[in-house]
Amino acid sequence: MEMIKLTIDNKTVEVQKGASILDAAKTVGINIPTLCYLHLHDLNITNKPAGCRVCVVEVKGRRNLAPACVTECTEGMVVNTHNIRVLNSRKTVLELILSDHPTDCLICSKSGNCDLQTLAQEMGIRQIRYQGEQSHYREDTSPAIIRDVDKCIMCRRCEMMCNDVQTVGVLSAVNRGFMSVVAPAFERNLDHSECTYCGQCVAVCPTGALTEVDHTNKVIRALADPSKTVIVQTAPAVRAALGEEFGLEPGTLVTGKMVSALKGLGFDYVFDTDFAADLTIMEEGTELLDRLSRFMNGDKTVKMPILTSCCPGWVNFFEHQFPDMLDIPSTARSPQQMFGSIAKTYFAEKLGIKRENMVVVSIMPCLAKKYECSREEFKVDGNPDVDFAVSTRELAHLIKQANIDFNGLPEEDFDRPLGESTGASVIFGATGGVIEAATRTAYEVFTGKKLEKVDFEQLRGMEWIRRAEVDFDGTPIKIGIAHGLGNARKLLEEIRDGKADFHAIEIMACPGGCIGGGGQPLHHGDSSILKSRTAALYREDAGKPIRKSHENPFIQKLYEEFLGKPCGHKSHHLLHTHYFDKSNPIEVD
């Protein structure tokens, strides 16, 4: 590899040819500030439109300043990152951006977590010399995501996520000049677009332009209502990330503290979505085995492969983009909805209360879950199975508002019966986890033999698309895994073109799976955080006494007492769903 030698701020730097000034500077401890730039190293996701011009530096001999993020180092280059010309330009540009930005930081939901605010602080901006007209746009509220476009700084990170990574293609720059802004086509609202609510735009937005719909006040009100029994479920990925909101190291497992905090908040029962994840394996696994055995017995009517259906962003994606393939995904509801359904039937009966008097709250790493729980098919007489889905970030706010010293909390256990879970369900939060959990159960059911080694390393990792073969005692089962909707599209197109011979495919909309969901604490471009969260989930799995879903005693009891058998009549009614053709929602008016 050819090496390049250059000087940055009087320090000699040697880097590989092709390195940017920004990267070269980092190697000698010089952090050039950036704003629009985003680089998720482990996922190979990069956004560098060179639009914010905050990272400009002086290159000797060059007429104008150079954006460090996209300027390649050349031999003998002499760079200055903070002389008066650079500082003045950087501050002036920042003032310009602020001059077209609402300064309502004190009441902005992004306050304290906003890259623009942090930068303004670090740069010591104390006045905005260039005041003038500010751009104003209509606020766009959807079931999951709010677009406060006045706060858009045209960093184009969301556009990159929506188009390049997710291939959803809803967000892109529209209008010209001062009126330029990122918006859906024809500046329609998100709920009139093909948005999947995956929330990856929110996950990377540096300002308050894209945020989640906040349900914390609704939760507080429900908790204060004496006529309501309020139940909470927590998704697997939450426990691996919540601690970050309280200053803990990424990857710190806070399961026990989280349960403790939820009890402190006043929830009547603190349950675990993991329980429902085990239930999902029972249903989805049974469906898989049924399709698989019919397929292997030569039944031509059977569709292969079966695709997982736990991820609501993914469900929205195929309803919009692949309406011709609605019969391929499993009909099993997601764990969130299975939980809600069981809670408002089985558990409500146990408590002897009406479903109207029960409120089910879910804590999710996800924003699409907000939309999912509002779907009509998951309501009974207008009463939703899950009333509110709040994000990991919202839960942190609830805890802070309740004056709870999170880090000082004791560890507590989930309540029973809907709080008991296995290691298989915990790994639902990471890409590959659902299919690994399904494999653990399906293997034993299919072969009738006990699985010696429950860890399927070949199904794990961060690679976008993974293909693996698992030996079911002589029968090779072909498994596909994709995370990120753009990769899901690739696999789906392979299936559509008849080029794929998978038996089962797991798809997660978000990079890394739920641990990288749109409702998680913001990673601010540090992809090692996602890796730490993943590792935490596998750690939790490894420490669990039971690691196969079908061995969960409370699941067994649920079938005995209430459901009958997996994919039976009752579970079909309560735990399965159907999909809708949502293609072409855009009509040009």
Partner 1 sequence: MAKFKIHLLVCGGTGCRASESEALFHNLKATISEKGLENEVQVITTGCFGFCEKGPIVKVMPDNTFYTQVTPADAIEIIEEHVIKGRKVQRLLYENPETKEKVVDSKKMGFYRKQLRIALRNCGFIDPENIDEYIGRDGYMALGKCLTELTPEQVIEIMKKSGLRGRGGGGFPAGLKWEITRASKADQKYVVCNADEGDPGAFMDRSILEGDPHSVIEAMAICGYCIDASKGLVYIRAEYPLAIERLKTAIKQAREYGLLGENVLGTGFSFDIELRYGAGAFVCGEETALIHSMEGLRGEPTVKPPFPSVSGYLGKPTNVNNVETFANVPVIINRGAEWFASIGTEKSRGTKVFALAGKINNVGLIEVPMGITLREVIYEIGGGIKDGKEFKAVQTGGPSGGCLTQRHLDTPIDYDNLIAAGSMMGSGGMIVMDEDDCMVSIAKFYLDFTVEESCGRCAPCRIGNKRLIEILEKICKGEGTMDDLDNLRNLSQVIKDTSLCGLGQTSPNPVLSTMENFYEEYIAHVMDKKCPSGQCKSLLQYIIDAENCVGCTACARNCPVNAIIGERKGVHVIDQAVCIKCGACMEKCKFNAVFIK
User: Which is nearer to partner 1, 87 or 296 (by Cβ)?
Assistant: 87
Residues contacting 107, CB < 8 A, separation 6+:
none
What is d(CA 261, CA 270) in angstroms, rounded to the nearest whole number? 10
User: Which is nearer to partner 1, 10 or 64 (by Cβ)?
Assistant: 64
Query: Could you tell me the two tokens for 124?
Result: 């010591």
Query: Could you tell me the two tokens for 445?
Result: 């059911």
Q: Where is 89: in which H helix or E strand?
A: helix 84-99
User: Which is nearer to partner 1, 178 or 186 (by Cβ)?
Assistant: 178
Tell the smallest beta-carbon distance from residue 162 to partner 1 (Å).
Answer: 14
List helix spans (H) across 103-254: 115-122, 157-160, 200-204, 216-224
User: Which is nearer to partner 1, 49 or 250 (by Cβ)?
Assistant: 49
List helix spans (H) across 343-391: 348-351, 368-372
Q: Where is 482: in which H helix or E strand?
A: strand 475-483
What is d(CA 537, CA 542) in angstroms, rounded to the nearest whole number? 9
**Which residues are paired to 183 by β-bridges?**
172
| Active site positions, annotated | 284, 287, 310, 330, 369, 372, 377, 514
What is d(CA 506, CA 461) in angstroms, rounded to the nearest whole number? 13
Which CA distances in Å does 515 have to 19, 432, 518, 545? 30, 12, 9, 23
DSSP state for residue 334 in the 8-state scheme: P
Task: Note whether 402 and 264 are within 8 A (CB).
Answer: yes
Query: Could you tell me the two tokens for 551?
Result: 């061995």
Residues that bind partner 1 (CB under 8 A): 49-53, 56, 64-65, 67, 70, 72, 85, 88-89, 92-93, 96-97, 99-100, 129-130, 132-133, 153-154, 172-173, 175-180
Residue environment code for 37-53, b if the CB has 16+ CB neighbours within 10 A, otherwise e: bbbbeebebebbbebbb
Q: Are strands 181-183 and 140-141 parallel, antiparallel or unpaired?
A: unpaired
- The type of residue at 349 is E
Which residue is listed with tokens 């500046």?
Answer: 187
Task: Return the closest-CA partner of residue 238 out of 106, 76, 429.
Answer: 429
Helix axes 255-265, 392-401, angle to 10 degrees: 50
